[in-house]
Structure 1
Amino acid sequence: MSAARTWRQFGDGPLSRITSRVYILLVVELLLLLTTLPGLLPLLLLGRDPSNLPLAALFLVPLGPAISAALYALHHQRTDLTDLRPASVFWRGYRANLSGVLRVWVPTLLWLTVLALNLAYRGAVGLPGWWTVPLVLLGVGVTLCAANALVITSLFDFRTRDVLRLAVHFLVRTPGVTVGNALLVAAAAGITAVLSEAVLAIVGSVAVLALLRVSDPMVRLTREEFTR
């Protein structure tokens, strides 16, 4: 009993909690890379020409379920060193959320692809220059709604239409979450533009953890007001 109690105290100490969090992030990062590899490798080889946008969207399809599973794992995994199972929690979340996430993620990619193509070829399709602003704003709105929807559908069991309603609702209800997600999206876009998608993938688990922490107020309100 004494040895078990000593191990339990070790597992609950500050250094142990830090160690366990680092371990969880590393495991989740490896699983993120593994599950996104089928799309990441061809994406890295794809030229940055607007004509490749539909292909880029196709290669990004595996990213949605992978982010969802990472959100699930980081949210549910305990930091006790005596009970670390981030890989099993990740795969449980991946299987449980796969269909729901794809119902949110695939339409989001389609919307963003259409908007990006219209921006890239606005002259060819006859759009006046002032259309740039509303198209960009619409793209930002779709992205922020998708971020909310991704978190909600990863952590809760709602119908897709309810997930989308809540995602839009919390854009206004939790402005701190909206601004935080906008900054995360801007940072991800900046890293991708200046460096590459590979750099962003390497810090994927940290980015997902940041998304989870930024979304804490929305998650708390969802649990308190919509799950009872």
Structure 2
Amino acid sequence: MSPTSPSSPTSAVRTVSTTGFGTGPLSRAAALLHTLLVVEALFLATAAPGFVGLLLLGPDPANLSLAAVCLLPLGPAASAALYALHHRSSDLTDLHPARFYLRGWRLNALPALRIEAPLLAWLTVIVFTLTHFTATGLPGWWAVLLGGVGVASLLWGAHALVLTSLFTFRARDTVRLAAYFLLRRGSATAAAASLLVLTGGLTALFTEALPALLAAPLLLSLLRSSRPVIVETQENFTA
């Protein structure tokens, strides 16, 4: 029998080695790290105009509207990142995070802006009111109410971001589904709230740049915690 025959031990070992390459635990960890690094780099690159604008603005409440405009590029960038992370491969031999990120940005940039722009405008009104609350003459419980509405709006925005990134719905359908899941999937909402607290803590304790530098792992956490939302949407709201 020839040593190069398909049934030879040498060929079998070679076949097993080739088949197993890129699928072990170490390879999966390396694939995840590679994907996170590429997605993070692309996120920072596509959101860079907004970050530069924020750096040029001072911490003055009068700049809130300009800050909201500077934050607009973050929506499409985050949506593209979620798309790429959702479609990532755990096989080290089949990694295309940059391709998926660019495809996600192309598909989701406008839908993400349709959701993000009104949300930022609404949050700007809330923050401006809270920073000038003494001038409004309203009772103190109004400040608590406005703060609660702002947090709920951010959590709604997290669900809307996931839905916009992974599904093709009309904007008004995304608005309704995000509101539905806000109460329907309490575990996913609580997980999003935890990420919101973590992001706020990193910003307060260290620097505003740290959440941006950790955007990829934070968005991966959001994606994983939103699994019930994604599954129910696939089963009940898509053809």
Amino acid at match of 1:109: L
Moved beyond 6 Å, runs of 4+: none
Deviation at 1:37, TM superposition (A): 0.7
1:140 to 130, 151, 159: 151
The question of 1:63 aligning with 2:71 is answered no
Mapped partners of 2:129, 2:57: distance in 1: 20
Mapped partners of 2:199, 2:163: distance in 1: 21
Structure 1 residues 4 and 110: alpha-carbon distance in aligned structure 2, compared to 1, 3 A threshold: farther
Compute the TM-score of the two structures, normalised by the length of structure 1. Answer: 0.95
The question of 1:17 aligning with 2:28 is answered yes
Deviation at 1:82, TM superposition (A): 1.7
Deviation at 1:157, TM superposition (A): 0.7
The question of 1:96 aligning with 2:82 is answered no
Give yes or no for contact 1:44–1:197 (8 Å, CA) kept in 2. no
Larger Rg: 2
Give yes or no for contact 1:122–1:128 (8 Å, CA) kept in 2. no
- 106-115 or 118-127, larger mean C-alpha shift: 118-127
Unaligned runs of 5+ in 2: 1-5
Q: Find the counterpart in structure 1 of residue 179 from structure 2.
A: 168
The question of 1:180 aligning with 2:200 is answered no
Mapped partners of 2:213, 2:187: distance in 1: 27
Q: Cα deviation per residue 1:139-198 (whole Å; 9 max; x = unaligned)?
A: 011111111000001000111111111101001111001111111111111212222221
Deviation at 1:4, TM superposition (A): 6.8
State the secondary structure of the residue aligned to 1:31. helix
Q: Find the counterpart in structure 2 of residue 107 from structure 1.
A: 118
Structure 1 residues 111 and 4: alpha-carbon distance in aligned structure 2, compared to 1, 3 A threshold: farther
Amino acid at match of 1:92: R
1:41 to 52, 56, 69: 52
Structure 1 residues 8 and 34: alpha-carbon distance in aligned structure 2, compared to 1, 3 A threshold: farther
Unaligned runs of 5+ in 1: none
Structure with the larger helix share: 1
2:84 to 52, 73, 87: 73
Larger relative contact order (C-alpha < 8 A, sep ≥ 6)?
1
Mapped partners of 2:105, 2:15: distance in 1: 33
Q: Find the counterpart in structure 2 of residue 193 from structure 1.
A: 204
Q: Cα deviation per residue 1:73-121 (whole Å; 9 max; x = unaligned)?
A: 0001212122111001000000001111100011111010000001111
